[in-house]
Structure 1
Amino acid sequence: MPNQMLPTRTVSSCTPRTVQGIHVFSISGYSQHRGIGYTEYNKSGAFSVGGHEWEIRFYPDGQHKQDFIAVYLELLSKGANVHASCDLRLVDQTTGLSSSVHKTAPRMFNPNNDLRFAPQDGNFMSRTEFEASAYLRNDHLAIECVVTVLKDAIVSQVKPRSRIEVPPSDITAQLGKLLEAQEEVDVTFSVGGETFAAHKIILAMRSPVFKAEFYGPMRENAAALIIPIQDMQPDVFKAMLHFIYTDALPAMDDLEGDDRSEIIRHLLVAADRYALDRLKLVCQSILCDNIDVQTVATTLALADQHHCDMLKDACVEFISSSAMDDIVATKGFVDLTRNCPSVLIDVFVRMSRSCKS
């Protein structure tokens, strides 16, 4: 299976950058400022926050409603919008602590229109509530304004994202070593004069036939010290065990051409015998890739006997597109006509239907 390339992952971060300032506007003689008119105001000295000039306006007679006092923050600097927020607070003259009366969430202050002010509503606090509160004592009040200017955010450099590499699974390699080491084996098979030791639980996990033999009604027969396996070559049984433990065929570098195809055919029979469906498909795939004039009849007979429909279809397709005289001349075709005549009938029926369509 080819290695799968993981996608490249990089990260960067964006962190807000703020500058905050606090200005206290102290007003004495509150009662003497009353009566100047609801459009008139007292203003604080200009103060700087975040490189911009600001001031506080206090309307003792209110601005829009005379039964309210009005307080504003104003942006004085010209020429640039400012992204900022503010918190307008009144100081308790008894405790010295301030309490928020109005908060403006971060927004753009525009020096060229009414957006230079915050808040947009002039009803800061009702006069009755204010004059009865601890915010006014001895005709004195203090307005505290917290201004937060948001500068351009800090964006970090792009860098590879930290990751933890997970190595590929090695469970099949470990199981293969377990088979080779013969550790804790609990069953032995005799095949063609050779013996093979294995683990019942692994065989049962992979094959329902072995499961029934070791743990089902047939388990008494499996209690023998050595279990004989009939009608199978030792090399085939060994290859089947290797696949059961590793989910892969063993290396067959020493086998060539017909010899390799022959052991694959025997493995397909073994896979069908022990209900090893994946091994059966692997064998079919290999045989399908190696269909030729000399092997197609033999492969067709095998596919029919062991219910390999896809492999059977591949053989029929090959025969339909090949020179029939060459196939008929092979030993495999002679054996096919002698032992599986019904398969030939099926082939000719399919070929006839294919021609008509």
Structure 2
Amino acid sequence: MAPTLRLPCFRPTASDDGLPSVSASVIVAGTASGYHVLRVQGYSLTKSALPNGKHILSRPFRVAGRTWAIKYFPNGSLPETADYISLFLVLNDPAADAVVARFEISFVDQVEKQDPSYIATFMAHRFLSKNTKDGGWGYKKFIKRETLEKSGRLKDDCFTVRCDVLVARELSTEDAMVPAAAPPFVVVPPPDSPQHFRALLLGGKSADVRFLVGSEVFAAHRCVLAGARSPVFDALLFGPMKEGTATDTESCVRIDGMLPQVFQSLLHFIYTDSLPETQAHDDDEAGATMAQHLLEAADRYDLQRLKLMCEGRLCQHIDVSTVATTLALAEQHCCQGLKEACFAFLKSPKTLDEVITTDGFRHLAKSSHCALFELRSKLAQR
């Protein structure tokens, strides 16, 4: 059973002895959740059989006492999305009353998107019954077909998605079984240090070191960069060979071999322990490229958490065109988890045959002999 939201209501009354008493009730906002797994077998056939704008409906499934279904458009739901797969959740029963629900459609391996507490943060949508010919809600651009076909998620001409649904039930009022506690005199807000450190970085107040990256200059604070986060910055800024001293305000620490936007993201992570908002949910090719650059920067400055975050992001972008270069990157920067993800993708003989013809694999064969030897050893074990 999903958690409920309970709002206590108080009304002081006078008892027979003149002392105040308290009555209480609760407003219960309940939810019910469930999910449906849809496996598309014969993906190529669905792509050729259904033109743009045409869909096939999944088998109906039940959540919160209502019937639902998934619309699958292999060639997109609209002319402008003809290069994409579209997926929509629809209310598929004749009941007249509408339903308010939150939902998420994801590949089955994206478990972080399937927790009810995660889905509860999504915008609620109003679903109408099938008698109204409501088109439902969903993703016009769920994934580009070319991206799916190059990825490891399409196996034996099949792929699988999961639709999680969180339905809001009607509000009800109940008597409270125990006297409600008085509200606290002091309410402590949640920690907000990352926001303050971000403002410190953006404002540049009391900055005591500057970095020249390409043609851009970044102001920062030695104690944040070195003392708390990076031993490499510690040696650079406080060691015997320290650069950019506070007394020499015109000098800059020169950073070579790095793009300004990568260094900016690196600073953002050091100050806030998170990626910039524009990159946190960036799942396209540009996001993968940025993750590669950030991984190199994280390894360079010994920021292990950032390095693991980039590894995890790159594991989601492995396909025929990228696996060889990703494997070379993983070998160069000692990313064992990322290497294992590449090896798992290459376990299919058909996939391996396709990858061998790419420029990336030819580069791998010339530059990363250890990775190539390890790949051969793993393939020989199968």
**Structure 2: gaps spanning 5 or more residues:** 9-175
Amino acid at match of 1:325: D
Instruction: Classify 1:309/1:163 alpha carbon distance in 2 versus 1 (closer, same or farther; 3 Å).
Output: farther
Amino acid at match of 1:278: R
Q: In 2, are the aligned partners of 1:182 and 1:198 still within 8 Å (CA)? A: yes
C-alpha displacement at 1:212, in angstroms?
1.5
Aligned partners of 2:196, 2:220: CA distance in 1, in Å?
14
Task: Map residues 145-160 of structure 1 onto 2, 5 A cutoff.
Answer: 158-160=178-180
Amino acid at match of 2:180: P
Task: Map residues 1-357 of structure 1 onto 2, 5 A cutoff.
Answer: 158-162=178-182, 164=184, 165-204=187-226, 205-219=228-242, 221-223=243-245, 225-252=251-278, 257-321=284-348, 323-353=351-381, 355=382
1:214-270 per-position Cα deviation (integer Å, ceiling 9, x unaligned): 222322x34262110010011100110011111111133697732221111010000
Instruction: Classify 1:278/1:5 alpha carbon distance in 2 versus 1 (closer, same or farther; 3 Å).
Output: farther
Q: CA RMSD in A?
A: 2.8
Q: In 2, are the aligned partners of 1:214 and 1:222 still within 8 Å (CA)? A: yes
Instruction: Classify 1:258/1:196 alpha carbon distance in 2 versus 1 (closer, same or farther; 3 Å).
Output: same
Instruction: Classify 1:173/1:5 alpha carbon distance in 2 versus 1 (closer, same or farther; 3 Å).
Output: farther
Q: In 1, are the aligned partners of 2:210 and 2:244 still within 8 Å (CA)? A: no
Aligned partners of 1:168, 1:5: CA distance in 2, in Å?
22
Q: In 2, are the aligned partners of 1:186 and 1:200 still within 8 Å (CA)? A: yes
C-alpha displacement at 1:170, in angstroms?
0.7
Amino acid at match of 1:326: E
Amino acid at match of 1:276: L
Aligned partners of 1:163, 1:300: CA distance in 2, in Å?
56
Query: What secondary structure, in the 3-state scheme, does the structure 1 residue paired with 2:320 have?
Result: coil
Aligned partners of 1:236, 1:178: CA distance in 2, in Å?
19
Aligned partners of 2:183, 2:364: CA distance in 1, in Å?
59
C-alpha displacement at 1:338, in angstroms?
1.8
Instruction: Classify 1:235/1:5 alpha carbon distance in 2 versus 1 (closer, same or farther; 3 Å).
Output: farther
Aligned residue pairs, count: 206
Aligned partners of 1:264, 1:190: CA distance in 2, in Å?
22
1:70-115 per-position Cα deviation (integer Å, ceiling 9, x unaligned): xxxxxxxxxxxxxxxxxxxxxxxxxxxxxxxxxxxxxxxxxxxxxx
Instruction: Classify 1:5/1:315 alpha carbon distance in 2 versus 1 (closer, same or farther; 3 Å).
Output: farther
Aligned partners of 1:5, 1:212: CA distance in 2, in Å?
52
Q: In 1, are the aligned partners of 2:225 and 2:270 still within 8 Å (CA)? A: yes
Look up the match of 2:132: none
Query: What secondary structure, in the 3-state scheme, does the structure 1 residue paired with 2:346 have?
Result: helix
Q: In 2, are the aligned partners of 1:284 and 1:311 still within 8 Å (CA)? A: yes
C-alpha displacement at 1:331, in angstroms?
2.1
Aligned partners of 2:189, 2:231: CA distance in 1, in Å?
31
Identity of aligned residues (%): 42
Aligned partners of 1:343, 1:191: CA distance in 2, in Å?
32
Amino acid at match of 1:333: F
Structure 1-normalised TM-score? 0.53
Greater C-alpha Rg: 1
**Structure 1: gaps spanning 5 or more residues:** 10-155
Structure 2-normalised TM-score? 0.50
Q: In 2, are the aligned partners of 1:213 and 1:222 still within 8 Å (CA)? A: no
